[in-house]
Amino acid sequence: MKITVTFDSLEEFAANIRMNEGFESDPETNRFEEAKAATRALASQEAPEGFKPEENPPFEEKAKEEPAQAVTEDFRIGVRKTLAGLNKKAGKNMARDLIEDLGVDTGKLSDVALEDLPKLMEAAKEALNAI
């Protein structure tokens, strides 16, 4: 059995954790309180001169700005499976219509450019949800 517990803050963690007898009362071994105090001290410090948040966004914002990974032929397999499910659920060849809407006259998935596959996948998922 595996139990996972998530705490929203350090204070909530401290309120719910049980330590061995005497651990919390001994100031020399109470590393938790020292870490808590150090964290508060760091949080209360002002930003250094010249620091501009808009020039140094947090890690999460940097990840959003990076371009999406290049689509590979493996993605085409996923699109093919989604289109097959769409055709089966609709009872007719809706995949051909979606492919032709992208400007591919043949209606074949193999003729769709890699750059257009994410658009096709999105359209197929919307059509699946509409049925």
pLDDT one-digit tens code per residue, 47-56: 667 666 665 5
Prediction pTM value:
0.47
Tell me the pLDDT tens digit for each residue of 62-80.
455 545 566 788 889 999 9
CB 103 within 8 A of CB 62: no
Domain limits of the chain? Answer: 10-65, 73-130
CA nearest 110: which of 99, 119, 101, 118? 99
